[in-house]
Amino acid sequence: MPGIRLLIASEHPIVRTALGTLLKGIRGFEVVAEVDLSNLAKTAREVSPEVSLVELTEAGLVGLRAVAKLMREAPTAAVVVLTSNENPSYIRSMLATGVMAYVLRSASNSELYEAIRAAHRGRRYLDPRLSDSITDMLLGRNSTAISKPQAKRLSGREAQVLREIAQGFTAKTIAERLGVSEKTIQTYRERIYEKLELRTRADLVHYAIAHGMLNSLESAS
C-alpha cells in the first residue's frame, strides 16, 4: 500500500536531510521532495504531495508568506508546520492560512508522525505542549480567535487602511496617500483593531498575510 506522499521544506539543508532520513524510515510515509522555502509552492505543484512538512527556524514573516503562498498555489496538500514559535498570534495566523498541524520542535518523533497522519486525514493537530488557554483561543473557543469570515466585516476603506498599516506606513503617510486627515486614519485603525479583536501591529501584519491581503509581498518571498 503506498505511503503518505510527503514534501519536506526548510531553509536549512541539514534539517531537510535529517527530516527526510527520519521519515523515509517510517512505514507508511513516502518522501517525494526536499526543498527550501523559496521553492516550496513550485515544487508542491510539480510533485503533488499529500502532506507538506514545513520546518520554520525563523519566527518572522518569511515562513508565514511561504505557507500562505503554498496554500494559494497548491491547496490540495495538508500542511504541517514544525517550529519553536509559541506566539499565539503567529500560530493563529498560520491556522488562518489553512495549516492543519502545528508541532513544536520539542515534540517526540512519534508526535510528529501523529501530526502528519492527523493532517493527512483532515484533522487539526496542535502540539500538546501549548497551554489549554492558548489551545482554546486558537481553536476558536473564545472571542480572540481569528477566522477568515472576519475579513468580510471590514469595509473597503478599512481593508485598504489595514493593508497600508501592514506594509509599514505611518498614519500620516497613509492619510496623505488616501487624501484624508491623520485623525481619520487613526479612527479607522481603532475600528480595525476592535472589529478583528487584535492588539498589536504584528497581529495586523499576520492577519493581512494570512488572508491574502498582501499578495504582492507574498509573491516576492
Check residue 219 and give its pLDDT. 41
Mean pLDDT (10-residue bins), the chain, 221 residues: 90 95 95 95 95 83 84 89 86 84 94 95 88 60 42 78 85 91 92 83 76 54 39
In sequence order, the 6+-apart residues with CB closer than 8 A to the CB of 68 are 97, 209, 210, 212, 218
Check residue 115 and give its pLDDT. 95
Domains of the chain: 4-138 (3.40.50.2300), 148-219 (1.10.10.10)
* DSSP E strands, the chain: 4-9, 29-35, 51-56, 78-83, 101-104, 125-126
Q: Is 4 helix (H, G, I), strand (E, B) or coil?
A: strand
What CA–CA distance (Å, rounded) separates 52 from 76?
A: 10
Residue 39's closest CA among 58, 13, 3, 4?
A: 13
Is the distance from CB of 182 to CB of 171 less than 8 angstroms?
Answer: yes
Check residue 169 and give its pLDDT. 85
Check residue 145 and give its pLDDT. 38
- What is the grid cell recorded at 66? 511561504
Strand partners, 77: none
Instruction: Go through the chain and tell me how many residues it has.
Output: 221
Residue 211's closest CA among 169, 168, 140, 153?
A: 153
Check residue 92 and give its pLDDT. 80
What CA–CA distance (Å, rounded) separates 86 from 48?
A: 29
Amino acid (1-letter code) at residue 59: A
Check residue 109 and give its pLDDT. 95
What CA–CA distance (Å, rounded) separates 35 from 38?
A: 8
The angle at the Cα of 125, spanning 124 to 126, to the nearest 5 degrees, equals 125
